């Protein structure tokens, strides 16, 4: 989480928590599905010989570690936050249920969700789509290092063009890599819009929530 290849950047943790804090101050309910690639990225088992299922569970535990870090930083900034997990890790945090998560949102808490879907073979993107739909979110925000969806990888191709808005069907036809296919299909079939934006730009999260044209909107 941050500029370094591994581990948690306390600077980045502070910046993310501050960005979430500014949104919460506007009265917006916030749920954060957090990944764990900075600690252990899925598929590493191909290099280490670790069984895929075992490796995926290791990745899920990494997301819980990141979730604990974000929860601690939010609370240090005066923001109430609750960490849930898709796998049972009590007493560290509560097991995720829609009812518990929505009750926390109603109390003004930021809901942080680790543990992925609780099952191997699923990505953090899929977990985000699933939890957003369960909690009846208005939109799924995907914070990345890139400022939206492009016709090609902008880090590799200078002639890549950015889309301000694109439909699910058009994005699928163009084979744009927005999320993994499971997550993308979940959002498309349930008409849940996605906004892809650069989370590392200060103020971007607040601008997105305020309805400003930041990133790329993928819509039904």
Q: What is the pLDDT of residues 36-52, one digit of tens each?
A: 988 887 555 556 778 88
Work out the average pLDDT over 166-177: 96
Write down the pLDDT at residue 47: 66
Pairing of strands 110-114, 81-85: parallel
Work out the average pLDDT over 18-30: 97
Write down the pLDDT at residue 39: 86
Where, residue-wise, is CATH 3.40.1160.10 in the chain? 1-137, 138-220
Q: pLDDT tens digits for 89-131? A: 999 999 999 999 999 999 999 999 999 999 999 999 999 999 9
Q: Integer distance in angstroms from the first to the last C-alpha of the chain?
A: 31
Q: Is residue 170 predicted with pLDDT exceeding 90? A: yes
| Averaged pLDDT score across all residues of the chain | 93
| Alpha-carbon span 109 to 40, nearest angstrom | 28
Torsion-angle region of 59 (φ positive above 0: left; ψ -120 to 50: alpha; else: beta): alpha
- Band (5; pLDDT cuts 50, 70, 90): low
Selecting from 3.30.200.20, 3.40.50.300, 3.40.1160.10, 3.40.640.10, what CATH number does the domain 1-137 have?
3.40.1160.10
Helix (H, G, I), strand (E, B) or coil at 217: strand
Q: Is residue 188 predicted with pLDDT exceeding 90? A: yes
| Alpha-carbon span 128 to 113, nearest angstrom | 9
| pTM above threshold 0.85 | yes
Write down the pLDDT at residue 20: 98
Largest CA distance in the chain: 51
Write down the pLDDT at residue 38: 87
Produce one character per residue of 9-29: b if its CB has 16 or more CB atoms within 10 Å, e if not: eeebbebbbebbbbbbeeeeb
Write down the pLDDT at residue 50: 85
Query: What are the distances in angstroms from CA 197 to CA 12, 87, 96, 146, 200?
Result: 16, 28, 26, 6, 9
CATH number of 138-220: 3.40.1160.10
| Alpha-carbon span 157 to 65, nearest angstrom | 35
């Amino acid at each position: 989480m941050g500029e370094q290849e591994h581990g948690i950047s306390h600077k980045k943790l502070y910046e993310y928590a501050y960005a979430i804090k500014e949104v919460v101050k506007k009265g917006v309910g916030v749920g954060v599905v957090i990944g764990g690639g900075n600690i252990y990225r899925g598929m590493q088992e191909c290099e280490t010989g670790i069984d895929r299922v075992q490796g995926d569970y290791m990745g899920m535990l990494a997301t819980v570690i990141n979730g604990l870090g974000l929860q601690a930083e939010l609370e240090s900034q005066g923001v109430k936050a609750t960490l849930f997990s898709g796998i049972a890790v009590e007493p560290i945090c509560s097991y995720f249920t829609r009812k518990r998560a929505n009750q926390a949102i109603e109390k003004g808490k930021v809901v942080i969700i680790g543990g992925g879907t609780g099952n191997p073979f699923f990505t953090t993107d899929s977990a985000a789509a699933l939890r957003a739909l369960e909690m009846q979110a208005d939109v799924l925000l995907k914070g990345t290092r890139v400022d939206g969806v492009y016709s090609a990888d902008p880090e590799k191709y200078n002639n890549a063009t950015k889309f301000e808005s694109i439909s699910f069907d058009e994005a699928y036809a163009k084979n744009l890599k927005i999320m993994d296919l499971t997550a993308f299909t979940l959002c498309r079939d349930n008409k849940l819009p996605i906004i892809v934006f650069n989370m590392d730009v200060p103020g971007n999260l607040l601008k997105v929530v305020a309805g400003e044209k930041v990133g790329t909107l993928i819509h039904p």
